[in-house]
Structure formats: structure tokens, C-alpha cells
Amino acid sequence: MIETLSVELGDRTYPIHIGTGLLRDPAQFAPYISGRQVCIVTNETIAPLYLQALESTLAGYDVDACVLPDGEEHKTLHTYGKVLDHLMTHRHNRSTTLIALGGGVIGDVTGFAAATYQRGVAFIQVPTTLLACVDSSVGGKTAVNHPQGKNMIGAFYQPRLVLADLQTLESLPVREYLSGIAEVIKYGIIRDAGFFGWLEAHVGELLRRDAAALKHAVLTSCAVKAAVVAVDEREDGLRAILNYGHTFGHAIETLTRYEYLHGEAVAIGMVMATDLSMRAGLLEARDGKRIKVLIGAFGLPVMPPGNVTPEAMRSAMGMDKKAVDGRLRLVLMRALGDVFVTEKFDPGAFQDTLSAHGGLCED
């Protein structure tokens, strides 16, 4: 059974289809492909698994594939340039459609290429990781990294379709799967305390990748994100709550040169944002403990590596794209499901959080 949500953006509204076997169904793609040309952008890990199947699904089109190296370290202007080179070499025109087949890196790079090639061409997201299903494929954020900061070069550019085939999640390595769980937990923290409680009660099912539990988690996560994006597409206000833990997490990713997966870094970042919320007197300790316990129950990290110092964290967070006029903006919480964005936080409490989670400190 296919579940469908919509990201309501007026004449740019698009569906999110969630189900199994969708990758092999031509009818899922046909309404969203502009012309005859299709370029599938994927990576060296995903291509052997799903590229041939998708090419067969799109057999009626002029299809070619751009296969990129795998890994966050390749989310660069150089890789973005490879996609543009491929499109030029294969003479793709303005009616072409790009299909991102892969995780968050592929989705972000493909979306940025689609936003800029011939001033904008159609693209479709086919996420193959849990993190991409629930987060990066939805909402139109596209970007590549700069050596000094994550996602510093990019554009807001919405896909025409997000097609989440849950069968692709069966091939995910455990670490990649759990990285996606971190973003699922985030949605319970920021917007849906009931969903957070459901996650606490279904840790075992999700660790086993139970089909029904996984579908519910993806559907609920996507529903939260779609609702937020519909209100605030370009992160002028409400959408910033989706960054809970991300400013801390992005700093960890940058400082460790992406040794940590995005979800792993965000898990640590959420623990740190929660810690700061408690130190600031905003959040009750029992709610803070629930968050840390749930993150740990999924085997996700709750502390940065020992070589990440408070001073380095502070510097890296200052480079985050969410800093405004030199002022750091953070997402803090009052209770489960109740978060807010602020530039006004106690600098002493902030330093205490960094110190408690930096260097060789143990919690």
C-alpha cells in the first residue's frame, strides 16, 4: 500500500510517495518527468544495487547515469562540477529531468545541479537511506560543503516528487540506518511528544527494521517536515526548528572531517542542545534524561570525540550558516514537542555545555 503526503507550496506542491516496490513502477515516475531525457545521478555504492532496476523502469526514456564517488567528503563543488560536465557531455536540454538515486549527499548535489543547470531543470528525489527518506529529500534544501563549513554553497530548489521505496532500506548497513534514526527522533523532540513516546515504546521493532514500525516512523517524520516546510519554505522562521542539534552537530562533522555520519553528529548535537536547555532552566531534567536515554538506546553516540575541544566547537559553530550578523542562533527546548529558535542564551550556560562535552571530559 502506498501512502502519499503533500508538501503544500502552491503551484510547486509535490507529493511524497511512501511504500514498497515503488522503484520498479513506471507509473510512479511518468507524471513528473518533463521530456524524453533523464539523467540518474547516483554513487558507486548504490549503483550496483538499484541503478539497473531504475533504468529498466524508465526504459521508455533516453536515460543515462552519472555515477559519483560515495561519502560526505565528496559533497563538494568539484563533485557538483562532475554532474554539470556529465549533463553537458550528454547534451541534456532544458526539458531534462534529473533523478537523485541515493542518500543525502546524492540528493543535495543533484538538487543543486538541477537548480543551476540551464537556470533550473526538473528533478526527482529517490532516497535510499533512512536519513534521506525522512529529512534531506523533503523540503528543497540543496547544497555542497565548503572546507570551513557544511552546506555553505547551495540553493532552495524543490523536487517534483519524492519517492521513498522502503525496500531500499533493507540493504542499509546498520550504522547508516541508525544515523537516520537520529533524525526520526528529532521530529518527536521538536514537534510531536506523542511520537517521541511511541519511539520509546518501539525501539526493538525499529532496531529489527520491522516493516510496519519503520513505515510509521517514516510517514510521521515526513508529515512533520512537510507541515513545517509548507509554512516556512526558506527558513525565515518556523523551519529553523528542524535544525535542533544541528549547529552543534555540523561543527562536529566539520571538526572531525566527517568521520561521524550526519545522524551520529546530530545525535550528539541534540544531547548538547538538550543539556543547554536544562542549564538555562528551560527544560525539566526528566525530559532531558528521556532524550539522552532514547538516543543511547539506539546505539547512537551522546558525546563528541575526545579531540574536539570546547574552543574548536565554539569557532566552528560561529561559521555555521545559521549564524546571523555574527550572532549564533540555536534551537532550544521548553518541553518535548516545544522548541524555539533564539539568539539570546546564557553565554555561561553555553560554555558549560561545551566544557561538559568537550576535550576528554566524561559525562
CA-based radius of gyration for the chain? 20
- 357 is annotated as an active-site residue: no
Q: Active site residue: 246, 279, 290, 357, which one? A: 246
Q: Active site residue: 75, 160, 262, 290, which one? A: 262
- 243 is annotated as an active-site residue: yes
Cα–Cα distance measured from residue 278 to residue 140, given in angstroms and rounded to the nearest whole number:
33
- 141 is annotated as an active-site residue: yes
Cα–Cα distance measured from residue 360 to residue 180, given in angstroms and rounded to the nearest whole number:
27
Residue 86 is placed in which grid cell? Answer: 556529465
- 74 is annotated as an active-site residue: no
Q: Active site residue: 72, 176, 235, 253, which one? A: 235
- 82 is annotated as an active-site residue: no
- 334 is annotated as an active-site residue: no
Q: Active site residue: 72, 176, 183, 253, which one? A: 183
Q: Active site residue: 74, 176, 243, 264, which one? A: 243
Q: Active site residue: 250, 279, 290, 357, which one? A: 250
- 234 is annotated as an active-site residue: no
Phi (first) and psi of residue 284, to 5 degrees: -70, 145
**Contact indicator for 123, 90 with CB cutoff of 8 Å:** no
Q: Active site residue: 191, 239, 279, 290, which one? A: 239
- 183 is annotated as an active-site residue: yes
Cα–Cα distance measured from residue 204 to residue 91, given in angstroms and rounded to the nearest whole number:
49
Cα–Cα distance measured from residue 214 to residue 162, given in angstroms and rounded to the nearest whole number:
17
131-142 burial string, b = 16+ CB within 10 Å, else e? bbbbbbbbbbbb
Distances (CA, A) of 257 to 145, 229, 303, 322, 363: 11, 29, 17, 20, 24
Q: Active site residue: 119, 286, 327, 344, which one? A: 119
- 186 is annotated as an active-site residue: no
Q: Active site residue: 141, 186, 216, 279, which one? A: 141
Cα–Cα distance measured from residue 152 to residue 142, given in angstroms and rounded to the nearest whole number:
10
Q: Active site residue: 225, 279, 290, 357, which one? A: 225
- 250 is annotated as an active-site residue: yes
Instruction: Point out the residues that are catalytic.
Output: 119, 141, 183, 225, 235, 239, 243, 246, 250, 262
